[in-house]
Amino acid sequence: MTTSRTPRIRLATVWLGGCAGCHMSFLDMGERLIEIFAQVDLVYSPLVDIKTFPPEVDVTLVEGAVVNTDHLRDARKIRENSRTVVSFGDCAVTGNVPAMRNRLDAPRLVSEVYSQGPGEAPPGQGDPGDVPTLLLRVLPLHRVIPVDGYLPGCPPDRERIWTAIGALLRGETIALPEAMRTFG
């Protein structure tokens, strides 16, 4: 006799241009994580040692704004391989702290700090290509890829994350008012 088992949900969490505080808040759920991981496989995350974003992910929580060309590439790969993408925290939702540099001339600032100033790289190091190129403007995630849900907060507190993950596991959406979507 065969028994049918509920398929386990494939969850990923991603860290783009953020401070890791949203992931710390995720970990702050403490023993509730045991309940979550009774139903869920964590298939990609800075919390586990998996190097490549996998295919067929059910839900991906994305922390951080899109700050550089690596983030742009990663965001597109996440979208291609995730059924549901959630902007996780204010940096992903609005740009938040990283977007404060949008008022500055980033290329000039980088040049003055790393090529002309006291932060000049030692000879033989700091060649172009060592670090990803900064975008001219920091962007919230939904300006780069379609996003299915929004989980605001800096960081979102653990109760909010717990409530949101419960909704996502039931197949519900978590939304942000339209007015906030135009921010950033």
89 interacts with ligand SF4 by CB under 6 A: yes
Looking at the DSSP bridge assignments, the partners of residue 10 are 41
Task: Candidates 57, 64, 74, 87: give the one binding ligand SF4 (CB under 6 A).
Answer: 64
Residue 94 touching ligand SF4 (CB under 6 A): no
Q: Is 97 in the site for ligand SF4 (CB under 6 A)?
A: yes
How far is the C-alpha of 68 from the C-alpha of 89, rounded, in Å?
18
How many residues touch ligand SF4 under the rule CB under 6 A: the total is: 13
Classify strands 40-44 and 9-15 as parallel, antiparallel or unpaired: parallel
Which span (16-24, 38-46, 49-57, 162-170) binds ligand SF4, by CB under 6 A?
16-24
Distances (CA, A) of 95 to 18, 74, 89, 125: 9, 17, 9, 31
Neighbours of 94 (CB within 10 A): 23
Among 14, 21, 43, 184, which residue sits at the site for ligand SF4 (rule: CB under 6 A)? 21
- Interatomic CA distance for residues 9 and 104, integer angstroms: 42
Q: Which amino acid is at 98?
A: P
Q: Which of 12, 13, 18, 138 binds ligand SF4 (CB under 6 A)?
A: 18
Candidates 57, 35, 36, 34; CA nearest to 45 is 57
Among 9, 22, 57, 59, binds ligand SF4 (CB under 6 A): 22
Question: For residues 134-173, which are near ligand SF4 according to CB under 6 A?
Answer: 154-155
Cβ 6 to ligand SF4 shortest distance, Å:
32
Binding interface with ligand SF4 (CB under 6 A): 18-19, 21-22, 63-64, 89-91, 96-97, 154-155
